[in-house]
Amino acid sequence: MGVAIGDCLLDLYAMQNEGLLASESIGVAANACASNSLNALMALEADQRRRLRHRLHALLRADATATDRRATTSRHLVRQSDVDMLLPADVGDYTDFYASIYHATNVGKLFRPDNPLLPNYKYIPIGYHGRASSLIPSGLPVQRPWGQTRDGDADPKFTPTKALDYELELGFFVSVGSSLGKSIPISETEEHIFGICLLNDWSARDIQAWEYQPLGPFLGKSFATTLSPWVVTMEALAPFRTAAFSRAGGDPAPLPYLSSPSDQAHGGLDLWLEVSLLSPRMREANLPPAILGRSNFRDMYWTMAQMLTHHASNGCNMRTGDLLASGTVSGADKSARGCLLELTSRGKEPVTLPSGEQRRFLEDGDEVILRGFCEREGFRRIGLGSCSGKILPASAR
């Protein structure tokens, strides 16, 4: 385990072994730092995690000269470029939602121009159960998947996808779990959410289009989902909380189990997200990645609390380290669209890269990079690191 400090990380495992975290007030949290995943720390109460953060702040302060603590602590700073980053947690279950009304509307228009939103969208946080086994850390390549596709009325074919896409998403981890048969009231969800990370839900749109009816996503998404290794805790995000999305006049109010005054007042998050693409030709020409979309998480129709509460509302037990994702984060403007399916209108309006190339969907060698940050006057800017993956050609069959 490590904490990001600029372009370095603080090795908490080494800190714990040397006794630098020894303190009666943080004993349990300090012991969790000897683990090789965040699960043990996630399972603790928020107050225990908060005391650990305060201890680390004290050790790293510029005036922390007592017994040369700061110099001692600095020995355990390692450059991020010198380490291999892993998945941040042992994820037992992964669920992906569809919480952006802008994304849902844009995609719906491509398939149902006269009725883009299905009748349930404004009443229920829509989601599907993903595949935890194919979660991969940022930096690992993604191989173009094979699958069944169908063009028009022709017979389906088994072929590599021709419509590979990214999805700009935010993931959040369950901290304290819940028992089978027990729900999580929306007033208590904050006790069950540890923190957030960047997530790319890679999607093969042609495979997805043929298979999704009537049960939803399957092989068009289960081949890979990329996670950032960095998790920003909800305690650190407190200054950037904002009101929940303001629903349009005439929209139904959330059902009582999905509504609370606290969530309406503070359930949103003022967090900027952006997605960039670097093609092989751009890489050869030393061109920087091209930003394709920039959106804000405050525009999500459903809050994290509503997603978690709904997920557990039927008695589904949640476990520490379970991962929930927001679905594509898109905004009202075309510049705020979080996937190529939206941005290119299903390939009909290709985007032009700085190299002069055009993209309808991703090509082999393309690298997709997600970034995110929070900023507000009077507070330090908080970054989410990056989440990247490069596309490899399909395997031979």
Residue 129 appears among annotated catalytic residues: no
How far is the C-alpha of 376 from the C-alpha of 381, rounded, in Å? 7
Cβ-contact 188, 176 below 8 angstroms: no
State how beta strands 135-137 and 225-227 pair: parallel
Tokens, residue 395: 């395997």
User: Taking Cα atoms as reference points, which of 269, 274, 326 lies closest to residue 298?
Assistant: 269
Q: Which long-range contacts (CB under 8 A, 24 or more apart) does 189-194 make?
A: 189/263, 189/304, 189/305, 189/308, 189/309, 190/46, 190/234, 190/305, 191/45, 191/46, 192/308, 192/318, 193/234, 193/304, 193/305, 193/308, 194/38, 194/41, 194/42, 194/49, 194/231, 194/233, 194/234
Return the structure tokens found at 180.
């089978």
Catalytic residue among 54, 57, 103, 311: 103
Rounded-to-integer distance, Cα 211 and Cα 16, Å: 49
Catalytic residues: 103
